[in-house]
Amino acid sequence: MPAELIDGVAIAKQVRAEVAREAAALIARGVTPGLTAVLVGDDPASAVYVRSKEKACIEAGMKGEAIRLPADTPQADLLALIDKLNADPTVHGILVQLPLPKHINAQAVILRIAAEKDVDGFHPVNVGRVWIGEKSGFAPCTPAGVMVMLAQAGVKVQGANAVVLGRSTIVGKPMVSLLVAESATVTVCHSKTRDLPSVTRQADILIAAIGKAEFVTADMVKPGAVVIDVGINRVDDATNAKGYRLVGDVQFDAVRAVASKISPVPGGVGPMTIAMLLKNTVRAAAQGLA
């Protein structure tokens, strides 16, 4: 029997409805949650992401603003803009869309954003807060979304053997923090892991976030495991009008025959990322009132 699908679109819709209710309650108290996204340059994918975030904010009754800067914007000018947004009481969340042009130091930019407005969850202060379980910290949106998906799908995380495939600062490492906080036993795998399939086959919960198209095969998955596919990759497809199709880090059809639950690509983790960004922004606005 094929694995049950974990529908990220439906779960994200629930989260966004909850965010809209929370935003309305804050507006009734005189505070409209506001998110400002900064885009430097004209990378097409980044432009799409920024537009979708702006639109999602407005749909939730929040203030959504996008500031677009030329690709040759000096780092000093970007940092000055961040200082201005940090000081603006109507801006509760700030994100600078990555990647940035090569002449700009991304870490310097992340450090400049006030931790209480860092709704992407990349500032070291938030990284530390999430690691120690401090509830005021903002977790990065993608791993936070994965945790909501697991909860909504009825997956028991406590005591489970979880394997995270990938160790990025955006997904892999914070994913470990959140799973440990829910009392899972966590193993992190990466390019230097020996005999990778033998490790991934121990997983009750397998999180694939390695960024390699259809890397995870059926023989790497324990029968009955829950598989969350964080990857999103383009592969050539002459039968598609666009000339490509989107796939995850998991060989979906083959793995679905082995797993008990699985998230699809597209329609899985992707929609959750923006939903959790909105949730973090509303939390930032609420924490500002405390």
Per-residue pLDDT reduced to its tens digit, 115-162: 999 999 999 999 999 999 888 899 999 999 999 999 999 999 999 999
From the list 120, 204, 229, 249, the catalytic residue is: 120
Are 187 and 260 contained in the same domain? yes
Are 106 and 222 contained in the same domain? no
Q: Is residue 275 part of a domain?
A: no
Q: Is residue 72 part of a domain?
A: yes
Q: Is residue 261 part of a domain?
A: yes
Rounded distance, CA 277 to CA 64, Å? 12
From the list 63, 97, 204, 229, the catalytic residue is: 97
Are 165 and 241 contained in the same domain? yes
Q: Is residue 260 part of a domain?
A: yes
Q: Is residue 276 part of a domain?
A: no
User: What whole-number percentage of the chain has pLDDT above 70?
Assistant: 100
* Domain range for 231: 141-270
Helix axes 141-152, 269-289, angle to 10 degrees: 110
Pull the structure tokens for residue 100: 């940035």
Are 197 and 232 contained in the same domain? yes
The predicted-structure confidence for 170-180, as pLDDT tens digits, reads as follows: 999 999 999 99
Rounded distance, CA 65 to CA 56, Å? 11
Q: What is the pTM of this model?
A: 0.95
- Beta bridge mates, 262: 5, 227
Confidence check: pLDDT of 290 > 70: no
* Annotation marks residue 120 as catalytic: yes
Q: Is residue 41 part of a domain?
A: yes
Rounded distance, CA 23 to CA 26, Å? 5
Write the Ramachandran bin of 225: left for phi over 0, alpha for psi from -120 to 50, otherwise beta.
Answer: beta
Pull the structure tokens for residue 277: 């960004």
Give the angle 136-13-62 at the CA atoms, nearest 5°: 60
* Annotation marks residue 97 as catalytic: yes
Pull the structure tokens for residue 274: 């923006």
Total domains in the fold of the chain: 2
pLDDT at 173: 96
* Annotation marks residue 229 as catalytic: no
CB 35 within 8 A of CB 277: yes
Q: Is residue 256 part of a domain?
A: yes
> Look-up: residue for tokens 């440990």?
180
Rounded distance, CA 188 to CA 196, Å? 11
Terminal Cα-to-Cα distance of the chain (whole angstroms): 50
The predicted-structure confidence for 181-229, as pLDDT tens digits, reads as follows: 999 999 999 989 999 999 999 999 999 999 999 999 999 999 999 999 9
Are 89 and 167 contained in the same domain? no
Cα 277 → chain centroid: 8
Q: Is the torsion defined by CA of 200, 208, 10, 155 positive or negative?
A: positive
Q: Is residue 9 part of a domain?
A: no
Q: Residue type for 193, please?
A: T
The predicted-structure confidence for 45-82, as pLDDT tens digits, reads as follows: 888 888 999 999 999 999 999 999 999 999 999 999 99
